[in-house]
Amino acid sequence: MGDHKLLDTTQVINGIAVLLSFFVGYKYALKKHDISDESKNGNGQSSNKGRGDGASVSESSFVSFSNNYKMVLVVRNDLKMGKGKIGAQCGHGAVGAYQKAVQCTPRLVRAWENTGCAKIALRVESEREIMAIKRAAEANNLVTCLIRDAGRTQIEPNSKTVLAIGPASVEDIDKVTGHLKLL
């Protein structure tokens, strides 16, 4: 029985050591990235690359370890796309938003990756509604990617099908999409 307690204590200590080393490594990686950004820029400030649409994306200088992050995929329900079509369009949106975010908000991308890469699918009922969500997201400095379909299968060419937002903090995204229902 005494050996059993010793084993339990050792496992607890090992678990704490693993968690502590992960946390220290994570903080070191963030700090190292900040230093490399400063040396590349030359003026002591991290540079943010634009999204390509003229708007700038702000990124906090420190991404909290305990925050939650997500990407939201806003799907037009009025187009009556099949499940496979929705999946493909959401895939296009997620990849497009990720590619933009890697350039614009790399620390947020790393935080999102380190917290499980949460993606949530929500629905809207019109093109007008998806465009209003896009404008609100951009007004809140969130990365967006609007997907337009080529029109080869189920829907008309150039139809706006999915809007990907983020990755960003849950709080920031919920300011824009918190009222929407799950797909």
Please determine, for residue 130, whether its predicted confidence score (pLDDT) is greater than 70: yes
* pLDDT band at 129; cut points 50, 70, 90: very high
Structure-model confidence comparison of residues 7 and 48, the more confident one: 7
Structure-model confidence comparison of residues 18 and 138, the more confident one: 138
Q: Which of 14-28, 131-145, 147-161 has the highest mean pLDDT?
A: 131-145
Question: Distance (Å, rounded) from C-alpha 166 to C-alpha 126?
Answer: 21
The gap between the terminal CA atoms of the chain, to the nearest Å, is: 53
- Among 53, 33, 26, 72, CA closest to 167: 72
3-class state of residue 24 by DSSP: helix
The residue-averaged pLDDT of 149-167 equals: 94
* pLDDT band at 148; cut points 50, 70, 90: very high
Q: Sheet of 160-169: strands edge to edge?
A: 144-148, 160-169, 69-76, 119-124, 181-182
Rounded to 5 degrees, φ, ψ at 123 are -125, 150
Please determine, for residue 39, whether its predicted confidence score (pLDDT) is greater than 80: no
What pLDDT is attached to residue 41?
Answer: 43
Please determine, for residue 84, whether its predicted confidence score (pLDDT) is greater than 90: yes
Question: Distance (Å, rounded) from C-alpha 100 to C-alpha 6?
Answer: 51
What pLDDT is attached to residue 38?
Answer: 39
CATH placement of domain 69-182: 3.40.1490.10
What pLDDT is attached to residue 40?
Answer: 42
pTM of the prediction?
Answer: 0.67
Structure-model confidence comparison of residues 106 and 10, the more confident one: 106
